[in-house]
């Protein structure tokens, strides 16, 4: 790895731009705008809506966990990653664009919206497997943290701009752009097509300017056979890769907690405070400002202290924030202190309960990026060069093998309790277990 030829600045920037391209899907679709709209208006019942959303993420998570190592191994055998990225970006774009037809209080056709949500989640996650696998071929071990952190920071900036577009173009004006009908919630539904178009357009620089692994000159059917064979060999000899396996097991837990925290914080706020699109969008913008700063700072910290310390610090910070969110209920904060809730006459985030929630939200935002960027860097540093795609496939598996558990548990707990708040305990437990398991990981010298 130390002999890696540095890609050009344009090549590395174009690779990082992939994070810019995919982030609006996570920001405006799965977190701040469409997901709360889906749970509150498409289904019509926030509790049942949260359960449905959790089940879609569980289905997507199981699919990703089962297939990502296989695809990564096949890509290693065949060589180039860009063809795979193209296929899965197209799948995500189709699923995302289809969300336009998620109308309020759907009486029929809801199953197709659920399918579209699953398609979008599967497509974007598989595309990340192959994009991440390109990282070690673009720069040296010592600089991977900075490049990875820069990509995450750029991604959050893209999400921030996408939120501004949604708010200023569609949500805040009395007459939204393109004459969208607010009564039919077209300003919320527009986030699907917007994310799809954004993704397709902004991956073009990576496709054009970022160097890819050369083809190994074997047929696709042969690459599939070799990929399966190599994956089976790796799985049989996992004891030879104990360090990376310890890391992947730890990541199973803390990444599951991170994804659940990202996905359900907006949903929880919408149900607790009655936030609409504008409040959620402004909240998302402020979260992304902190996430951008955290990602750039985390990339620098990654190269200075190492990936492991960066991950542990970030996960513990997120666990603290999750407890803070858990401490907020109707009329109370910090597990018992009285705090007024918003009223119809309240200004934006004016109530004390909302202010406390916002404070913990900012802590979340700051630590999201470093935890995820340093995880990507660490697996690149731990993986054998000839198996980089395969191990990034296992990396995706580690993020999804238990990823269905958190949404499923949240869905079940929400259904059984009839409340949103108790489900947040699941997130805290996963984060703390993941941080504890990181003590078994040994990071190599850089």
Q: What is the DSSP string of 40-63?
A: IIISS-HHHHHHHHHHHHHHHHHH
Strands (E), 141-278: none
Q: Is the pLDDT of residue 2 over 70?
A: no
* Domain extent at residue 57: 9-440
Q: What is the mean pLDDT of residues 270-291?
A: 79
Asked if 73 and 228 touch (Cβ cutoff 8 Å), the reply is yes
| Confidence class for position 85, pLDDT limits 50, 70, 90 | very high
Q: Is the pLDDT of residue 206 over 80?
A: yes
Short-list 135, 153, 72, CA closest to 396: 72
Q: Is the pLDDT of residue 117 over 70?
A: yes
pLDDT at 328: 80
| Confidence class for position 248, pLDDT limits 50, 70, 90 | confident
Q: What is the CB neighbour count within 10 angstroms for residue 26?
A: 22
Q: Is the pLDDT of residue 11 over 90?
A: yes
In degrees and rounded to multiples of 5, residue 239 shows phi and psi of -65, -20
Identify any residues that bridge with 337 across adjacent strands, giving them in sequence order. 333
154 vs 174: CA distance, rounded Å: 31
Q: What is the mean pLDDT of residues 185-191?
A: 92
Is residue 445 assigned to a domain?
Answer: no
pLDDT at 315: 94
| Confidence class for position 423, pLDDT limits 50, 70, 90 | low
Q: Is the pLDDT of residue 285 over 60?
A: yes
The CATH code of the domain that includes 43 is 1.20.1250.20
Is residue 317 assigned to a domain?
Answer: yes
Short-list 359, 353, 186, CA closest to 275: 353
Is residue 266 assigned to a domain?
Answer: yes
281 vs 271: CA distance, rounded Å: 15
Q: What is the mean pLDDT of residues 58-70?
A: 82
Q: Is the pLDDT of residue 100 over 80?
A: yes
Short-list 235, 185, 178, CA closest to 394: 235
Q: Is the pLDDT of residue 304 over 50?
A: yes
Number of domains in the chain: 1
The pair of structure tokens assigned to 370 is: 């470093």
pLDDT at 91: 97
Q: Is the pLDDT of residue 169 over 50?
A: yes
Q: Is the pLDDT of residue 365 over 90?
A: no
Q: Is the pLDDT of residue 76 over 90?
A: no
209 vs 82: CA distance, rounded Å: 11
Question: Which 8-state DSSP code applies to residue 183?
Answer: T
| Confidence class for position 369, pLDDT limits 50, 70, 90 | confident
pLDDT at 4: 59
pLDDT at 17: 95
- pLDDT tens per residue across span 397-414: 777 666 667 777 777 777
pLDDT at 1: 42
Cα four-point dihedral sign 159, 161, 163, 165: negative
Asked if 300 and 375 touch (Cβ cutoff 8 Å), the reply is no
For the chain, give the mean pLDDT: 84
Host H or E run for residue 397: helix 388-400
169 vs 419: CA distance, rounded Å: 34
pLDDT at 401: 64
Strands (E), 1-46: none
Asked if 390 and 230 touch (Cβ cutoff 8 Å), the reply is yes
347 vs 326: CA distance, rounded Å: 24
How many percent of the chain have pLDDT more than 90?
A: 24
Buried b (16+ CB within 10 A) or exposed e, 328-362: bbeeebeeeeebebbeeeeeebebebbebbeebbb
**Comparing 232 with 115, which gets the higher pLDDT?**
115
- pLDDT tens per residue across span 322-344: 888 878 877 777 877 877 777 77
Q: What's the length of the chain?
A: 446
pLDDT at 180: 87
The model's pTM: 0.77
| Confidence class for position 211, pLDDT limits 50, 70, 90 | very high
72 vs 387: CA distance, rounded Å: 9
C-alpha gyration radius of the chain:
21
Q: What is the mean pLDDT of residues 232-241?
A: 74
Short-list 180, 250, 210, CA closest to 85: 210
What percentage of the chain's residues is helix, strand, coil (to nearest 5)? 80, 0, 20
Q: Which of 17-21, 159-163, 431-435 has the lowest mean pLDDT?
A: 159-163
Q: Is the pLDDT of residue 228 over 60?
A: yes
Asked if 36 and 275 touch (Cβ cutoff 8 Å), the reply is yes
Q: Which of 231-235, 298-302, 358-362 has the lowest mean pLDDT?
A: 231-235
Cβ-proximal residues to 302 (8 Å cutoff; 6+ apart), any chain: 145, 146, 148, 149, 310, 370, 373, 374, 377
Is residue 446 assigned to a domain?
Answer: no
Is residue 90 assigned to a domain?
Answer: yes
Is residue 4 assigned to a domain?
Answer: no
* Distance from the Cα of residue 139 to its chain's centroid: 24
Is residue 2 assigned to a domain?
Answer: no
Question: Which 8-state DSSP code applies to residue 329?
Answer: B
Is residue 3 assigned to a domain?
Answer: no
């Amino acid at each position: 790895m130390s002999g890696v030829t540095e890609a050009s600045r344009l090549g590395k920037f174009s690779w990082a731009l992939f994070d810019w391209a995919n982030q609006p899907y996570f920001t405006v679709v799965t977190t701040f705008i469409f997901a709360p709209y889906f749970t509150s208006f498409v289904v019509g019942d926030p509790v049942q809506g949260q359960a449905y959303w959790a089940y879609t993420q569980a289905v997507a998570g199981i699919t990703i966990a089962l297939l990502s190592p296989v695809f990564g191994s096949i890509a290693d055998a065949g060589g180039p990653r860009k063809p795979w990225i193209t296929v899965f970006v197209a799948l995500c774009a189709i699923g995302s664009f289809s969300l336009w037809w998620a109308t309020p209080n759907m009486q029929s056709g809801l199953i197709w919206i659920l399918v579209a949500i699953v398609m979008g989640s599967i497509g974007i996650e598989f595309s990340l497997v192959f994009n991440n696998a390109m990282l070690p071929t673009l720069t040296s071990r010592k600089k991977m943290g900075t490049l990875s952190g820069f990509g995450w920071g750029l991604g959050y900036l893209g999400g921030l701009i996408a939120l501004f577009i949604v708010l200023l173009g569609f949500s805040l004006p009395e007459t939204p752009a393109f004459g969208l009908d607010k009564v039919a919630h077209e300003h919320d539904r527009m986030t699907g097509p917007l994310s799809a178009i954004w993704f397709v357009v902004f991956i073009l620089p990576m496709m054009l300017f970022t160097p890819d692994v050369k083809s190994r000159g074997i047929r696709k059917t042969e690459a599939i056979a070799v990929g399966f064979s190599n994956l089976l060999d790796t799985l049989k000899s996992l004891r030879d890769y104990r360090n990376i396996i310890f890391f992947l097991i730890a990541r199973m837990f803390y990444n599951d907690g991170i994804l659940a925290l990202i996905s359900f914080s907006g949903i929880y706020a919408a149900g607790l405070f009655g936030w609409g699109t504008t409040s959620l969008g402004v909240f998302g913008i402020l979260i992304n400002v902190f996430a951008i700063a955290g990602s750039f700072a985390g990339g620098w910290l990654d190269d200075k202290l190492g990936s492991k310390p960066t991950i542990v610090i970030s996960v513990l910070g997120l666990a603290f924030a999750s407890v803070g969110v858990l401490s907020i209920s109707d009329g109370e904060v910090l597990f018992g202190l009285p705090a007024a809730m918003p009223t119809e006459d309240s200004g934006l985030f004016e109530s004390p309960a909302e202010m406390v929630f916002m404070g913990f939200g900012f802590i979340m935002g700051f630590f999201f990026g470093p935890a995820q960027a340093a995880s990507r860097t660490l697996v690149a540093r731990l993986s054998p060069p000839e198996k980089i795609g395969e191990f990034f496939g296992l990396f995706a598996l580690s993020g999804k093998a238990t990823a269905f558990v958190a949404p499923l548990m949240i869905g079940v707990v929400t259904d059984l309790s009839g409340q949103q708040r108790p489900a947040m305990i699941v997130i805290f437990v996963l984060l703390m277990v993941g941080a504890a398991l990181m003590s078994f990981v040994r990071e190599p010298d850089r």
